[in-house]
Structure 1
Amino acid sequence: MSMHAPAPLAALRDVLIGTIVEDEHDPVSPAIGYGLSLAEAAGAHVTILSSSWCLIGSDAWLQGTTDPGIGIVDRRLDALARAFAGNAAGAAAQAGLVCTWEAPRLPYPEVVHRLAAEARLHDLTILDLDSRSEILSRETIEAALLASGRPVLAVPRGHPVFAGERILVAWDGSLQAARAANEALPLLRAAEAVEIVSVGDAEDLLTTLPGAEFARHLARHGVAVTVSDLPQAGSIADTLRTHAGVVQADLIVMGAYRHSRMREFVFGGVTRSLLLDAPVPLFLAH
C-alpha cells in the first residue's frame, strides 16, 4: 500500500468499484482501472462488486423457462463477471491494496438494488458510464445516488486511469451542488487547479448564491480555486463540455437529481445530457 498518499486523498478510506455484466461481449469495465488507480493514490481499501444480470427471473415471461440457451447465457455472464472481479483483485494485490470482491448473479432489478445498498458502506462508489447501455448505466448511477446518500464517480470509456489535476465544479447555488463539492473535497484539495463554473446570463446568475462566495469556503479548506461565470453557448451542457475541453479538465463535479421524485437533474437537464455524452468522468452527489 502506498505509504506516501497525499493527505487530501488519504481521506478516502474505502471505495466501491461496481460493474454489471449484461452482455457476453462487454469489454473491460473502465470503472475498474480508474477506480484501482484512484484507490492506489489514496491508499484506500477497495471493494469490487462485479455483478452479472441473471436473465432467468428478470422478467415474468422468463419465469419457469426451460430454454437451455438462457441458462447457458447466464453461466457465461457469471463467468465473465467473476473474471472481471478476479483480475481486478489481482491488480489490487499487485498495487499493495487491501481488496475484497464479490460476483453475485442477480435478476433485474435486484442487480441494481444490491449495488446501491453496498454503496452506503463506502466513501465513494465508482461506476461505469456506458452510452451503449444507456438505461441500465443511468439507472445504476441513479439508484446508487438516491438510495445510498453517498457520492458516485461515473467513468466513461477512454479514461482508464484516475487523473485529477484540473477539476471543474459546476455551480448553480443548489444544495446538491454544495454537497457534491463538499463530498469531493479530498479530490479538490489534491488538485492543482479547481474552477467553479456557473453558466447563464447575468440576470440568471444573480438569482443564485454566487460562486465567488462558495469559493471562499473551498479556499478555507486549502483548495486552489478560481471562479468563472460563462455565457451560455448552445445548451448549458454544451457550454460545460466546451469549457472542459478548453481548460483540459480531468473531472467535473456536480450535483444531481435536484428533484428526486421527478428524477429531474441539476440545471434542468444538464446531468442527463452529460451522462449521455460525458467529456470526462463525473463526480456526482445528491
Structure 2
Amino acid sequence: MGVQGIKSILIGVSPELERPSAAAAYGLSLARSASAHASISALSPEMTLTHAFVSSTAAGLVAAENRRLLEQARAAVEKIRQDAMAQGVSCSSEAIQKHYALLASSFTKRVRTHDLVIVDAEPDSLSLRRGLLEEALFNGGRPMLVIPPNVETFRVQNILVAWDGSAKATRAVNDALPFLRAADHVEVLSVIGEKDMSRSVPGADLAPHLARHGVNCTVKDLSTPNGDAAEIVRSQAAMNRADLIVMGAYVHSRLRQLVLGGVTQAMLRDCSIPLMLSY
C-alpha cells in the first residue's frame, strides 16, 4: 500500500560523509511511494578564521577549502537530483554553504514548509551534523526520519511505536499516521519501570483510536529491570523485524533546548532501524 498524506519531503544531506547518503536514497524511495515532491538540501558549514590577525596565505587556504566543499556539495546534490529524475520523482535541490549558526537556522526554516525531514544518522553527539539534526528536530516543528547507514529503501510493513502516553509520544503517533495506516502491523510498546507512567495514557487506550484510523495494531507492555528502555525498544523492534520505530523526542534542559533526554540520545547513538522522532 502506498503512503497517503505525505506531499512534501525535505532531505538534508552532508556531502562530507564518507559513505553515500542513506537518507537521500531512502527519501527518494519514500517520495516515489507517496507521489511526493522531494527537496534536497546539501549542507556545507563554511570554514572561518577566528583569529583577528591571520596571513593572506592562511585566508587564501580557507577560501580555497570553502570553494572545494561547496563544489563537493553541488556535485552531491546534482547526483541525487539525477537519481530522482531517473526514478520519476519530482525534485528540487540546493547546495547551502553558510557559517554554522546561519546554516542551522536556514535549514530549520526550510523544515517548516515540508511534511517531514529526512536526515542521515549521526551517532556522535558532539559533531556539527548532530547539531544540525537537533536544531531542525527541536525548532523545525515537523517530524524527522533518521536513517541509519545502508537502509536505502522505504518500507513500513511492520512498525514499532514506543509509547509512554506523553504529549510528545501522542504527537509522534499523530505525525506517523500516514505510515501507520500503510503498515501491515503496528505494535504499541510501553516500557514499564523506566519512568513514572501512573498519569500517562496506557497503550490499551490508544489502540481503539488507531483502529478507527484503519491501523492494525497490538499492544505490549514490557518491564525493564535495569532501566535501559532504549535497549528494550531496540530488541523488540529487532524481534518484530520492524521497518520503522516511532517515538517522541525529549530534552532535559529548558535553558538549552538541545540537551537530549537519555532514551532519545541512546536511540540516536545506536539504532539500526529508521527512527521517526517528533518533538
Q: What TM-score, normalized to structure 1?
A: 0.88
C-alpha spacing 1:61/1:214, structure 2 compared with 1 (3 Å): farther
* Match of residue 61 from structure 1: 51
C-alpha spacing 1:264/1:145, structure 2 compared with 1 (3 Å): closer
C-alpha spacing 1:285/1:63, structure 2 compared with 1 (3 Å): farther
Helix, strand or coil for the counterpart of 1:209? Answer: coil
* Match of residue 176 from structure 1: 168
Counterpart contact for 1:47–1:100, Cα < 8 Å: yes
The alignment yields a C-alpha RMSD, in angstroms, of 2.3
Which of 271, 274, 277 is the aligned partner of 1:278? 271
Counterpart AA for 2:231 = D
Counterpart contact for 1:82–1:103, Cα < 8 Å: yes
* Match of residue 144 from structure 1: 136
Counterpart contact for 1:172–1:198, Cα < 8 Å: yes
Counterpart AA for 1:89 = R
Distance 1:65 1:220 in 2: 67
* Match of residue 16 from structure 1: 10
After superposition, what is the alpha-carbon deviation per residue over 1:102-153, rounded to whole angstroms, capped at 9, x for unaligned? 1011111222221111000000100111225753233222211222211111
* Match of residue 113 from structure 2: 121
The alpha carbon displacement at 1:51 in A equals 1.8
C-alpha spacing 1:134/1:244, structure 2 compared with 1 (3 Å): farther
The alpha carbon displacement at 1:203 in A equals 9.5
The alpha carbon displacement at 1:258 in A equals 5.0
Counterpart AA for 2:185 = A
Distance 2:132 2:116 in 1: 14
Residues 98-137 of structure 1: matches in 2 within 5 Å? Answer: 98-131=90-123, 134-137=126-129
Helix, strand or coil for the counterpart of 1:114? Answer: helix
Counterpart AA for 1:20 = S
* Match of residue 79 from structure 2: 87
Q: What TM-score, normalized to structure 2?
A: 0.91
Helix, strand or coil for the counterpart of 1:244? Answer: helix
Helix, strand or coil for the counterpart of 2:71? Answer: helix
| Identity among equivalent pairs (%) | 40
After superposition, what is the alpha-carbon deviation per residue over 1:167-210, rounded to whole angstroms, capped at 9, x for unaligned? 11111111000000100100110011111100014994444210
The alpha carbon displacement at 1:257 in A equals 2.5
1:190 counterpart = 2:190: no
The alpha carbon displacement at 1:221 in A equals 0.5
Counterpart contact for 1:112–1:140, Cα < 8 Å: yes
The alpha carbon displacement at 1:91 in A equals 1.1
Helix, strand or coil for the counterpart of 1:60? Answer: coil
Distance 1:196 1:29 in 2: 30
* Match of residue 223 from structure 2: 231
After superposition, what is the alpha-carbon deviation per residue over 1:252-271, rounded to whole angstroms, capped at 9, x for unaligned? 100013556254778x4101
Moved more, 133-142 or 146-155: 133-142
Unaligned residue ranges in structure 2 (runs of 5+): none
Which of 229, 238, 242 is the aligned partner of 1:245? 238
C-alpha spacing 1:162/1:109, structure 2 compared with 1 (3 Å): same
Counterpart AA for 2:51 = W
Distance 1:110 1:283 in 2: 25
Distance 1:62 1:161 in 2: 48
Counterpart AA for 2:240 = V
Distance 1:214 1:231 in 2: 19
